[in-house]
Amino acid sequence: MVDIGCEEPKVEPSMAKQKLKAIRGQKDELRANLLKLSDACPFHPSNPEDCPLFPLRSLEPAKRRQWIEALSEGDLEYLATYHRVCLRIKLESGSASPRAKSPAQKGRRRGLGQ
């Protein structure tokens, strides 16, 4: 018989640091994606009022960034999930159409990371 309850798994400090770094990276990526989504809906030409980001879209970019930076991990996950579900519904219903580029984006030159 093997007693597996006696030994606790050893976690090396470097493993814990790597995991924390990965979690922080995921949060940063979620925040960056939500900041882009707070500018405009990428698949709907209007600013849908049922979107939880609707009120943010009328704010200045610095205020939007401040609001998003203050979100908890749970709030970030909720908004990311909401966006994925909304996009899936729009794609399945055929109502999703890529948004035309904004005037600022149209003027950007190719090859500059755009």
- HSE on the CB side for 83, CA within 13 Å? 20
Task: Give the model's pLDDT for residue 59.
Answer: 92
Confidence (pLDDT) at 10: 63
pLDDT at 111: 39
pLDDT confidence of residue 114 = 35
Q: Coil, strand, or helix at residue 91?
A: helix
Q: What is the residue whose two structure tokens read 């190719």?
A: 110
pLDDT reported for residue 78: 92
The pTM assigned to this predicted structure is 0.59
Give pLDDT tens digits along the chain (114 positions). 445 555 665 656 677 677 666 667 778 888 888 888 888 888 777 778 888 988 988 899 999 999 999 998 899 889 989 988 988 888 888 776 665 554 444 443 333 343
